[in-house]
Structure 1
Amino acid sequence: MKIPKYSILAVLILTVMSCTSEKKENKDLKVEIYETSASGNSLTKITELSSIDTASVIKILPEKKFQTITGFGGSFTESTAYLLNRLSKKNRDTIIEAYFGEDGARYSLTRTHIASCDFSLSNYTYAPEADDMELKSFNIDDDRDDLIPLIKDAQAISKDGFKIISSPWSSPPWMKDNQDYVGGKLLPKYYDVFALYFSKYLDAYKAEGIDIWGLTPVNEPHGNGTNWESMHFTPEEETDFVQNHLGPKLEANGYGSINILGYDQNRKGIKEWVDEMYKDEASSKYFAGLAVHWYESTYDYFPEELQYAHNKAPNKYLIETEGCVDSEIPKWQDDAWYWRKEATDWGWDWASAEDKHLHTKYAPVHRYARDIIGCLNNWVDGWIDWNMVLDKQGGPNWFENWCVAPVIVDPDNDEVYFTPLYYTMAHFSKYIRPEAQVIGVENPDTELMITAAQNPDGSIAVVLFNEGSTEKNFALNLNDKLVTIKINAQAIQTVLIPQF
């Protein structure tokens, strides 16, 4: 049958219109883009999209669901609280707002210390009287001037609230075999008393209007080279303490919902700890999850160890509770330093010969971005930075264990410096909210690190890190809708996709 010419023309027109419509539909993914870069962006909103076609198409896969996010944030330390109290009210309020306000980083998961730690002004305990088996001398008076007011002010500013994980660096010295704040072991005869110590702490903070969400039995049970407050536990000893003393005591005193996180040290040691903690139903009953730190390496986030922990207990928390640039004095008002590989840490200085390779020099921003994305892509559900605020020396710290914080202050001159690390943390904490779910990403570009999560409101946050020295163009594909984006050299981007 002969087809009329006008019919052929109509078919051609419809075909062209169909192709044009399809092309338009495929290019209409609506996004908001925020970038922090070595070139000067600081969580800057990017409004100009890339016009360059690219073969690098990153596909977002919301149907592939992984862990639920607990939160992101930093730690309330006595050092931070003390410094904030030395600033003018205006600058103090500015910093608290920057961390917890709706226009700030919106921290949702935090940590604090039970009694003193290295980032305290001095050694102190809540139970000063030796052999006080009923802890009649228990008090939190040392926290009343600085630490408690800071936490309460943060609570007043935070619209959604935040969770707090509390960790002791040591028991009261009189409970230990060496009678000292530093090193030593908790004597078995004091296991029940130390469990009561936690319960008393929860009572005291609750009376101040501060509810604690989680606890770790001790910070860094391997110790820290007998430098500052510490107390040693083996996996067997800590599991015994939690299973037979701490867990039952908290349950009996009305704190059965408190989340006890075991271990609380570096990732390389995960296997031996989870094997003991989750050995059977009885041993794992009171453990809500595992807490880990990042100090084992300056570049390796130990994906195999993190996956092992998750597979051992898929329904329990896996939270990074501490990480910072340590053994380093901050660089004051020098953004470029945070993007250069000049930082050092304890491992560079002190690691054994066989572990030295794990502690190469690194750019602080790179280390944060790489670790957080690596953690999220390997089942970690929460990530907590260490001190929120330190001074130009990297303290105060009674042991002079200097570190870097995202916000550095000069209290003598009432000056504040938001380092690039602050904006790096905000790329995650501000846009990936509690109860978000990590989702799948198909990424053909091995030079870009990427993670993605879908928030409870339906929006999707995609965080990308370009460590390279050249800008890159990529297309983001969600449900066959595309947008082409440029990311600068040495940059972090959060691409926020509104509810779709």
Structure 2
Amino acid sequence: MRALPAVLSPLLLLAATAAAPVPRPSVEVWLTLPDKSTLLARQPSLPLQRGTTGTIAVDPGKRYQKMVGFGAAITDASAYLIQRRMTPQQRTALLRELFGTQGFAFTRLTVGASDFSRSHYSYDDMPKGATDPALAHFSIAPARADVLPTVRAARAINPSLAVMLSPWSAPGWMKSTDSLVKGTLRTEAYAPFARYLGKTVQAFAAQIGPIDYLSIQNEPDFEPENYPGMRLSAAQRARIIGDHVGPEFARAGIRTRILDWDHNWDKPEHPLGVLADPAANRYVAGVAWHCYGGDVAAQSKVRDAFPAKDVFFTECSGGEWSGPWADSWSWTLRTLVMGAPRNWARGVLLWNLALDEAHGPHLGGCSDCRGVVTIDSRTGAVTRNPEYYALGQASRFVRPGAWRIASTSTPGGIETVAYANPDGTRVLIAFNAAAETQPVDVTAEGSHFAYRLAPHGAVTFRWRRPR
């Protein structure tokens, strides 16, 4: 028998190539059902076929906002549990899951204490009656214990992790109450407070890398009774930002972007008032929102008035009040994970990344809040809560830098939101709001696919445009 030639001729090579099977384009499917029988589980892929039949249209040619990502706050409580109540192996596994597999790309840190701290403190505490306008006693030592190591580890897993800072209170000596609890910022403390925020951003950045966003006050229209807080009117915030924080950051070369409001949907007049001030408007990059009052559509109302400003959703907590698993999961998915981006949010953050079995540790404030995960303070075991699965329908698939793109919904049936990732993949998240199984017939860029979604179920589709 003659030996085969060592090198195939061009014609034989062409024939061999032509005979090789061409992979058919397909659509990945990831499903969660309200009875928990299926939780963010991969399903058989669907064929992506040529044609434009379909009741749900996805149009990558129509872009809205570029996404920063999804995630949750690394509070003092969350970091304490991760660092002090887990073994090194448990800690590594959880952080890799959250910031790797789960895809969290956005987090929020507190400047000083919140109610989810084991003590109340700022970074420049003084005895009653004493002041420190030169900030000679400034120190971020409390954050170095647990929070900053946790963020460093998260950024090592996901280098694109975006970080936001929010103070719950200025140091007590800057305030009308001379206390971290209640009160407002004294006018003569506006400049020291701006320097305090600037020093915090610089000190954190030296430890963990760039600080992307800062709100000057968490929930400025609320004075908590038993944990740090500070009331600041829209007029006060406009002066603080326009005359002090903005210029202070500019002088110091701080590129951290300033967000206003960081409070509920029910009072859009607050951020509208700040953005209407020319001095403040110059320095405000966007508006941050919370979920505890009003409707998510407020985000679009303010964005329509100031389309050059970014929108972020920065806090909502699940808890024992929020009803059965299915109700908590579906509300979080529909209102925050889908609804906030459909109303221009570039990022979506829930509150505590982790709490323990007793809803803490905390000092004052919410006694029945729930973390995205629960860490057993005795064993380090992890329970994944409804919010984990709601976030995961987006965070695992929507990459930083993705564009939200146009997608239609079917009235009373399938609700959707869609994205185009930087790598060319398309993502569609769909929720069935009906009480019966609904068809999800999708057309995009000359192709289509079909699926049937169970009542109140959610599905994420991911595919690449056929060539």
Q: Tell me the TM-score normalized by structure 2.
A: 0.88
Q: Distance in 1 between matches of 2:434 and 2:90?
A: 35
Q: Partner amino acid for 1:89?
A: P
Q: CA deviation at 1:56?
A: 6.5
Q: Distance in 2 between matches of 1:122 and 1:280?
A: 37
SS in 2 for 1:182: coil
2:265 to 261, 264, 267: 267
Contact 1:29/1:483 (<8 A) preserved: no
1:123 aligns with 2:123: no
2:61 to 60, 63, 83: 63
Contact 2:440/2:450 (<8 A) preserved: yes
Q: CA deviation at 1:329?
A: 7.5
1:381 aligns with 2:346: yes
Unaligned runs of 5+ in 2: 1-23, 48-52
4+ residue runs of structure 1 moved beyond 4 angstroms?
A: none
Which residue of structure 1 lines up, in the alignment, with residue 34 of structure 2? 38
Alignment CA distance shift 1:124-1:314 (3 Å): same
Aligned residues: 431
Q: Partner amino acid for 2:346?
A: D
Deviations along 1:305-346, whole A, 9 cap, x unmatched? Answer: 2222111221221000101114x2899xxxxx311xxxxxxx
1:476 aligns with 2:446: no
Q: CA deviation at 1:285?
A: 0.4
1:485 to 448, 451, 462: 451
Q: Distance in 2 between matches of 1:235 and 1:420?
A: 35
Which residue of structure 2 lines up, in the alignment, with residue 23 of structure 1? none
Q: CA deviation at 1:71?
A: 1.6
Which residue of structure 2 lines up, in the alignment, with residue 364 of structure 1? 328
Deviations along 1:25-73, whole A, 9 cap, x unmatched? Answer: xxx76211111112421211110659xxxx9621111222212212211
Q: Distance in 2 between matches of 1:408 and 1:163?
A: 23
Q: CA deviation at 1:384?
A: 0.6
Q: CA deviation at 1:420?
A: 3.2
SS in 1 for 2:439: strand
Which residue of structure 2 lines up, in the alignment, with residue 175 of structure 1? 174
1:498 to 456, 460, 464: 464
Q: Partner amino acid for 1:376?
A: P
Q: CA deviation at 1:466?
A: 1.9
Which residue of structure 1 lines up, in the alignment, with residue 77 of structure 2? 79
Q: Partner amino acid for 1:168?
A: P
Q: CA deviation at 1:188?
A: 0.4
Instruction: Give runs of aligned pairs for residues 248-267 of structure 1, distance below 5 A.
Output: 248-255=247-254, 257-267=255-265
| RMSD of equivalent CA atoms | 1.9
Which residue of structure 2 lines up, in the alignment, with residue 98 of structure 1? 97
Q: Distance in 2 between matches of 1:275 and 1:427?
A: 32
Contact 2:114/2:228 (<8 A) preserved: yes
1:458 aligns with 2:424: yes
Which residue of structure 2 lines up, in the alignment, with residue 4 of structure 1? none
Greater shift in the superposed pair: 412-421 or 241-250: 412-421
Unaligned runs of 5+ in 1: 1-27, 332-336, 340-362
Q: CA deviation at 1:444?
A: 2.8
Q: Partner amino acid for 2:31?
A: E
Q: Distance in 2 between matches of 1:386 and 1:66?
A: 26
Alignment CA distance shift 1:63-1:227 (3 Å): same
Contact 1:125/1:172 (<8 A) preserved: yes
Contact 1:29/1:478 (<8 A) preserved: no
Deviations along 1:100-132, whole A, 9 cap, x unmatched? Answer: 11xx11111110100000111110111013311
Q: Distance in 1 between matches of 2:257 and 2:424?
A: 27
SS in 1 for 2:132: coil
SS in 2 for 1:273: helix
Contact 1:274/1:309 (<8 A) preserved: yes
Deviations along 1:408-440, whole A, 9 cap, x unmatched? Answer: 111212321112321221111121122211111
Q: Tell me the TM-score normalized by structure 1.
A: 0.82
Q: Partner amino acid for 2:30?
A: Y
Q: Partner amino acid for 2:331?
A: R
Greater shift in the superposed pair: 128-137 or 443-452: 443-452
Q: Distance in 1 between matches of 2:450 and 2:465?
A: 19
Q: CA deviation at 1:461?
A: 0.7
SS in 2 for 1:247: helix
Instruction: Give runs of aligned pairs for residues 137-286 of structure 1, distance below 5 A.
Output: 137-158=137-158, 160-255=159-254, 257-270=255-268, 272-286=269-283
Which residue of structure 1 lines up, in the alignment, with residue 318 of structure 2? 325
Q: Distance in 2 between matches of 1:406 and 1:209?
A: 23
> Among the aligned pairs, what percent are the same residue?
27
1:391 to 337, 350, 356: 356
Q: CA deviation at 1:369?
A: 0.8
Q: Partner amino acid for 1:262?
A: D
Which residue of structure 1 lines up, in the alignment, with residue 50 of structure 2? none
Q: Partner amino acid for 2:329?
A: V
